[in-house]
Amino acid sequence: MNRLNLFAILTLLSLCPLSSQAQDQAAFQKICTTGAGSSDIAVNGKDNWCFLRNELRHLSVGDFWGERSAKTAQAADPKAKDPMKAIIAYKALLDKENIKLIVVPVPPKAVIYPDKLAGASLPVKRYDLSLQKFYQELRKEGVQVVDLTDVLLKARKSDNEPLYCLGDSHFSGEGCKVIAEALAAELKKETKLQGKTKFSITKEKISFKGDLYKTAKGMPSSEERTVYYVKGETKNAASPILLFGDSHTLVFDTGGDLYASQAGLASQLAAALEMPVDVIGVRGSGATPARINIYRRSKQEKDFLKKKKVFIWCFAAREFTEASAWNSEVSIQ
């Protein structure tokens, strides 16, 4: 090929516009980067939707594991920045106890509802390229990851009820139910764990002011969402299934400022599996504090680990960069 032809081809390529996918991805990244720089914790979107600033920051940084974690992680300790290292180390500990680890990151609200972000009108599709790459890397290391993104994107097409709260950083009661059913299906397939307890479920609308609406400017004072109350013993310390992580394991389930009781992920999962589950949840970060609480309980209950078959580690996906620490040296006993 002569220089003239090569120059002509390069010129044509330079004049070609970005593909539609690339344009949408660039627009999504720009919105997230702008939101990450907000002075407010709550970033207003369209139609009374609010987004958490830290979540948008997480989505703006790109790849965040391995050497990249030194630049992307919020953790202060240089040894506790890489989520990949911590997750693989924890799996190795559980393997020795014959306990299966299932990692369940809750997709960012902005990934499921990109069309509700302020700014460009984005089509609804996957924009979480770095998260998808990270899950693939974890799977290569033998870690079972349940990526709920496609499940939720599919569910929002057929469900009029939002799968996330508009004014809160958590999934909604409807989203909680969808996630629990997907997890139950995964558990039945992978572990054959299923009980015989039939739980009664009642549907009800509740009104509450979420954590984002409490700080947002120009937003409603509350929102009304559907929850599904589960009647019966949904939690049992002797259950072979432990659900642990951040406040996604507690919201709508423990009452008080978490809006409802017996309607959260643990209760919905118990109903779907027809058996109680054990829960160790924290209101802060699900990355390290939840594992420390498991260690403490293991020290208090000598047969704790012997009772368990599956650990379900559920936390907001933003924790991969926003957690205060990803300590890879947390023990289980």
State the pLDDT at residue 175: 97
Range(s) of the domain holding residue 104: 3-322
State the pLDDT at residue 4: 43
Q: Is residue 332 part of a domain?
A: no
Q: Is residue 19 part of a domain?
A: yes
Q: Is residue 307 part of a domain?
A: yes
Burial status of residue 3 (CB atoms within 10 A of its CB: 0-12, 13-18, 19 or more) = exposed
SS3 (DSSP) at 106: strand
Give the alpha-carbon dihedral of 59, 54, 269, 166, to 10 degrees: -100
- Look-up of token digits 């369940």: 104
Task: Say how many domains are in the chain.
Answer: 1
Q: What pairs with residue 254 in β-bridges?
A: 261
Residue 288 neighbours by CB distance under 10 Å:
22
Give the alpha-carbon dihedral of 76, 81, 86, 87, to 10 degrees: 120
Q: Is residue 235 part of a domain?
A: yes
Q: Is residue 226 part of a domain?
A: yes
Q: What does 204-234 look like in DSSP terms, one character per residue?
A: EEEEE--TTTTT-SS--S-EEEEEEEEES--
Q: Is residue 331 part of a domain?
A: no
Task: Tell whether pTM > 0.85.
Answer: yes
Residue 175, φ and ψ in degrees, nearest 5: -65, -40
Q: Which helix (H) or strand (E) holds 176?
A: helix 173-191
Q: Is residue 47 part of a domain?
A: yes
Q: Is residue 75 part of a domain?
A: yes
Contact 235, 279 (CB under 8 A): yes
Strand 223-231 relative to strand 200-208, pairing: antiparallel
In order along its 333 residues, the chain shows pLDDT tens digits of 444 454 444 344 444 456 888 999 999 999 999 999 999 999 999 999 999 999 999 999 999 999 999 999 999 999 999 999 999 999 999 999 999 999 999 999 999 999 999 988 999 999 999 999 999 999 999 999 999 999 999 999 887 899 999 999 999 999 999 999 999 999 988 787 878 899 999 999 999 999 999 999 999 999 999 999 999 999 999 999 999 999 999 999 999 999 999 999 999 999 999 999 999 999 989 999 999 999 999 999 989 999 999 999 999 999 999 999 999 999 999
Cα-only R_g, the chain: 21
State the pLDDT at residue 253: 97
Q: Which two tokens stand for residue 280?
A: 């160790």
Please give the span between the terminal C-alpha atoms of the chain, in angstroms, as a whole number. Answer: 67
State the pLDDT at residue 18: 65
Contact 204, 213 (CB under 8 A): no
SS3 (DSSP) at 277: strand
State the pLDDT at residue 7: 47
State the pLDDT at residue 17: 56
Q: Which two tokens stand for residue 29?
A: 């990244």
